[in-house]
Structure 1
Amino acid sequence: MHRPPTAEAEVAEELAAVRPGLLPRFTAALPGARAAVLSRLWRALAHEPLPWITGREPAAGGLVLRLRDGRRLAGPDADPYRTDAYVTAVRCEESEYADPARLMTDLAVPGAEGFAAELGHSVASLALSRAGRTSERDGWPERGWEWEQRVVDGHPFHPNCRSRPGFSVAEQLAYGPEHGPVVPLARVPVPAAECLVAGRWPAQLRDGGRLLLPVHPWQAAHVLKGAGESAGGRLDAHPLMSLRTLAVPGGPHVKTALSARLTSSVRDISVASIAASATLSEFGEVLVARGEGLLHITRTLGAATAHSPDLAAVLRESPDQYAAPGERVVPVAALATTALPGSPGWTGRLARLALRVGLGALELGVALEAHGQNLLVVLSPAGEPLRLVYRDLADLRVSPARLARHGVPVPELPARMVTDDVTVLRRKLFGSLVAGALAQVAGSGPALRDALETAVRDLPDTPDLAALCAEPLPAKALTLMRLSPRRPGDQWAALPNPLRT
């Protein structure tokens, strides 16, 4: 039977044409990339509420999963907070699998075919990212975008950590932050009367009665089909870890519309998010003013859309401006890429700072989505965590009842952001901050337990803290969500709480 070429073969063929000197490094990186994606997939199989897994039981040196059709899938113990590529193979009946795409294909569960293709893209793109990365782990970068470009492997727990369908090899090399490119953003002119604008749109992005909307070159070529691509000139910028957000040297961060599926989501900018951006930015300043001086929130300077999610842009402050001389602002996701102070309690001190800020905001009535990309830490010259910076308020959850208790008016926000459901609020914060950002820094369940035990001793005693210490930790069921794309919204897994083990 003829099998179509794998994503690995397709990438190798393209790479041989556009960057042949990189091909040996790509080939050498493939086994490690397969293990990295398989480790993320095994975590999902071991802990997410997948309907076709009917039982999980410990076995000698590992774990056995019972499938609904009677098959048994065996692999190593699955620490849900472990981030290294420790799963090199799993076994289903008499077959052994080192390739996550082939495993998912042969499992043949509902949705497996499409997800297997995404896993193949994730492996191939991850190998390409590792082969072509320009950042080095030695030394501390001076600029924020350099820290971001050190994050080569993408999402620490999502099997689609580097899936970039729709991007050619040449486009990944030209736009992927790990490859260190400078990206020329098109400035597409649109009559101002045809745009929705929030905040102040800068004069340098205006041309008479027209707004010059920054557009990612991938978007210009594939979605806008080159319309207006060069009419407004270029804006050179450095891509950040989200790929669609870029840092303009000496200027703001520019969030562009990018109608491609990256990891899980199609990355455009909704008209509703543009309309709410100024209100959210003002609300962020209220939240900062109510805090203890430990949190900064980057302001939205201006946002505009041509009434289309495919043609829009948001301009935000650079987090770097919140660093005093000698300090550095580092995304939490980038902490694992650089040697940090070796004292045993460092991660615990970061956790104490992050939980103090996050639980304080939650008590006030605001649940931050504080994952490793949105949350940044201000480090002292000696590397100690001092303060936090939070960016991108678009996925907050806000409790009117809690705000009212503290005398804070409820802003006019999209309905999806407003809830008094304590489960929803805690999932938003705990799932992103504890099971996400802090777990990524810790790198394993035992290390996360040590950090949390250090952190919670000095925190104010609140019902939210009690829930954090006693209940299973929520985490987005990322694989379940990809296998059930017709079910909208987040789905959740309940992970073992390190504080209870």
Structure 2
Amino acid sequence: MDRVDLKPPPAGTADAYAAAPLLNCLLREVAEPLPESGGHRVHRLPGGRLLRVRGTRRPAGPEVHGPDGWRRIGHDELVKLVAEELTRHTGVSNHDLPAEMTDSRDAVAALLTARARATAPEDPYLRSEQCLITGHPFHPAPKARGGGPAAGWLPYAPEAHARFPLVLLGVREDTVVEEGDTSALDTLGEAPAGYRLLPAHPWQLDLVTVDEAFDDGRLIRLGTTSFDTWPTAAIRTVYAPSHDLFLKFSLDVRITNDIRRLWRHDLLKLRRTDAAVTAAFAHGPGAWLSDRGYRTADFAFEELAVLVRDGLREHLPPGTTALLAAGLVEGFEGSPLDGAEDPGPWWEAYLRAVVPPALAAFADHGVVLEAHLQNTLVAVDADGTPVRALYRDAEGVKLLSDVPRAAGWERLVYCLVVNHLCEVAEALAERHPGFDPWPAVRRELARHDLPEAAALRTDPTLPGKTNLLLRWTGADGADARYLPLPNPLADTGEDRSPRR
């Protein structure tokens, strides 16, 4: 990444980016919607205070009502307001999450500064992976980076258009633990006799202590790769275009709901899960980026683990380019959403690409994809028309042999419909006022002989994950809890936006 001068941008810019997802959470999870007034959305908070905002998809300009009327509040005061309301609503106090909210805002400021001085990648795929300044639109602190100084993580931030070589380690052969196909790792460099090659994320090595292993020779340093890798939206997953390879690492940092470590229990079930998904996609219309295998050291099983994932090229139809679905929602230079004069055909093509693979995997193979925005790539042709979906990340996949069918379906609906289709649909509608995206979704669902899909077109509600309450109450990051949201697919003639 180019050297940057960390002079902060205007505070209001970073505040606006950071406030939008926090407001989304607050209004969805604990606020009572009231009639709109003067172009504002008005809500009553648990303590009785009134809060109003402008906008729907990305709320802005929060104001609270007091004795002297409406008063604008900045990000610091918004954090204080959220903490007071959640303490009152849940009866639980939390000192860590408000700090994360502030950290997220400060991280956005650092990212905006660095991004203004950096050079965006020419590849539209990489631009789509690296555009997420807002990030998860329904998380209270989507850009928090563990509270450390920006100088520690900024060189590895995708949002700042970072690129960097990987550190190469040699792991003594008698300490290596691996499963699956890890042969791609051996093409990244050379290890001396008695050692195996193990790449490491440079930030990862700053976060763990393995000094004893270096001292006694179980680990040796072998320099760095001769090529750069690009961090993707997932931050700890990098792409090496020269090798057409993705590598996923452990990072001992909380990002959104979890500490982003490759946990032992997930690695041990990786091959079974990935094999099930690979079989589900063997003859279908979509593609699966297989998590082929992992390699690590027995003395630092989670800390030094690296996961090997398929690259893009063998999964892309000729003449197409992969784009991250989350990038389409956030926006980046060259996005086909900006070039679609008529959103109808584009949206229908998008639905044909992303919906059938996810429903077929569920119905025919008992596989529940984590088909949210950051796990979905969409291959588009030269005109920007979607032709194929590529799904990724076996860690988030559930199998119906392990979970009840109803729970698996609820998770799929949240990931595919609420987290994914709702966001793309509203981004399209925002660009094309008057466009109704939901009839096309109903038609696409009607093509599939699946009882749950038929019910989805009439159910009054959809499941919305409560990220703010989950984090406030200290629930396990993988413990999804849902609240009912109005279902825009239920054609009642009413405005049933899932944000109301």
Q: With structure 1 as the length reference, what TM-score do the two structures score?
A: 0.81
Identity %: 26
Which residue does the alignment assign to 2:41? Answer: 62
Which residue does the alignment assign to 1:160? Answer: 141
RMSD (CA atoms): 2.9
1:104 Cα shift? 2.8
Q: Establish whether residue 431 from structure 1 lines up as the match of residue 414 from structure 2.
A: yes
User: CA separation in 1, counterparts of 2:181 and 2:36?
Assistant: 61
User: CA separation in 1, counterparts of 2:420 and 2:451?
Assistant: 22
1:118 Cα shift? 0.9
Which residue does the alignment assign to 1:406? Answer: none
2:169–2:222 Cα contact (<8 Å) kept: yes
Which residue does the alignment assign to 1:209? Answer: 194
Which residue does the alignment assign to 2:237? Answer: 245
Which residue does the alignment assign to 2:493? Answer: none
Q: Secondary structure at the match of 1:373?
A: helix
More displaced stretch, 376-385 vs 359-368: 359-368
Question: Quick one: which of 278, 292, 300 aligns to 1:301?
Answer: 292
2:4–2:113 Cα contact (<8 Å) kept: no
Q: Secondary structure at the match of 2:452?
A: helix
Q: Secondary structure at the match of 2:166?
A: strand
User: CA separation in 1, counterparts of 2:250 and 2:155?
Assistant: 17
User: CA separation in 1, counterparts of 2:428 and 2:409?
Assistant: 20
Unpaired stretches in structure 2, ≥5 consecutive residues:
491-495
1:59 Cα shift? 5.6
1:71–1:92 Cα contact (<8 Å) kept: no
Q: Tell me the amino acid that sits aligned with residue 195 of structure 2.
A: R
Question: Taking structure 1 as reference, are residues 137 and 470 closer, same or farther at Cα in structure 2, changes over 3 Å only?
Answer: farther
User: CA separation in 2, counterparts of 1:393 and 1:419?
Assistant: 16
Superimposed CA distance per residue, residues 154-197 of structure 1 (whole angstroms, 9 cap, x where no aligned partner): 22222212111244222333010122222232223222332321
Q: Secondary structure at the match of 1:243?
A: coil
Q: Tell me the amino acid that sits aligned with residue 191 of structure 1.
A: R
1:427–1:475 Cα contact (<8 Å) kept: no
1:137 Cα shift? 12
User: CA separation in 2, counterparts of 1:284 and 1:122?
Assistant: 34
Question: Quick one: which of 469, 480, 498 aligns to 1:490?
Answer: 480
1:355–1:455 Cα contact (<8 Å) kept: no
Which residue does the alignment assign to 1:456? Answer: 442
Which residue does the alignment assign to 1:288? Answer: 281
Aligned 1:102-501 pairs, distance under 5 A? 102-107=80-85, 109=87, 110-133=92-115, 141-142=122-123, 144-202=125-183, 203-204=186-187, 206-224=191-209, 228=214, 231-235=221-225, 236-251=228-243, 252-291=245-284, 294-307=285-298, 308-336=301-329, 337=331, 338=335, 339-345=338-344, 346-364=346-364, 365-400=366-401, 418-422=402-406, 424-443=407-426, 450-458=436-444, 459-471=447-459, 472-486=461-475, 489-500=479-490, 501=496
Q: Establish whether residue 76 from structure 1 lines up as the match of residue 53 from structure 2.
A: yes
User: CA separation in 2, counterparts of 1:305 and 1:389?
Assistant: 27
Question: Taking structure 1 as reference, are residues 179 and 420 closer, same or farther at Cα in structure 2, changes over 3 Å only?
Answer: same
Q: Tell me the amino acid that sits aligned with residue 103 of structure 2.
A: H
Q: Secondary structure at the match of 2:35?
A: strand
Q: With structure 2 as the length reference, what TM-score do the two structures score?
A: 0.81
Superimposed CA distance per residue, residues 425-471 of structure 1 (whole angstroms, 9 cap, x where no aligned partner): 12221111111122232336966993232132142242221232223
1:477 Cα shift? 0.8
User: CA separation in 2, counterparts of 1:89 and 1:40?
Assistant: 12
User: CA separation in 2, counterparts of 1:220 and 1:112?
Assistant: 30
Question: Taking structure 1 as reference, are residues 258 and 479 closer, same or farther at Cα in structure 2, changes over 3 Å only?
Answer: same
1:102 Cα shift? 3.2
1:271–1:305 Cα contact (<8 Å) kept: no
More displaced stretch, 307-316 vs 142-151: 142-151
Q: Secondary structure at the match of 1:41?
A: helix
User: CA separation in 1, counterparts of 2:302 and 2:52?
Assistant: 43
Question: Taking structure 1 as reference, are residues 164 and 136 closer, same or farther at Cα in structure 2, changes over 3 Å only?
Answer: closer
1:73 Cα shift? 3.1
Superimposed CA distance per residue, residues 360-404 of structure 1 (whole angstroms, 9 cap, x where no aligned partner): 22212211111111111111111111111111111112223xxxx
User: CA separation in 2, counterparts of 1:335 and 1:296?
Assistant: 19
Which residue does the alignment assign to 1:408? Answer: none
Question: Taking structure 1 as reference, are residues 152 and 66 closer, same or farther at Cα in structure 2, changes over 3 Å only?
Answer: closer
2:322–2:379 Cα contact (<8 Å) kept: yes
User: CA separation in 2, counterparts of 1:444 and 1:324?
Assistant: 26
User: CA separation in 2, counterparts of 1:172 and 1:197?
Assistant: 28
Which residue does the alignment assign to 1:14? Answer: none
Question: Taking structure 1 as reference, are residues 31 and 389 closer, same or farther at Cα in structure 2, changes over 3 Å only?
Answer: same
1:398–1:420 Cα contact (<8 Å) kept: no
Unpaired stretches in structure 1, ≥5 consecutive residues:
1-17, 401-417
More displaced stretch, 174-183 vs 109-118: 109-118
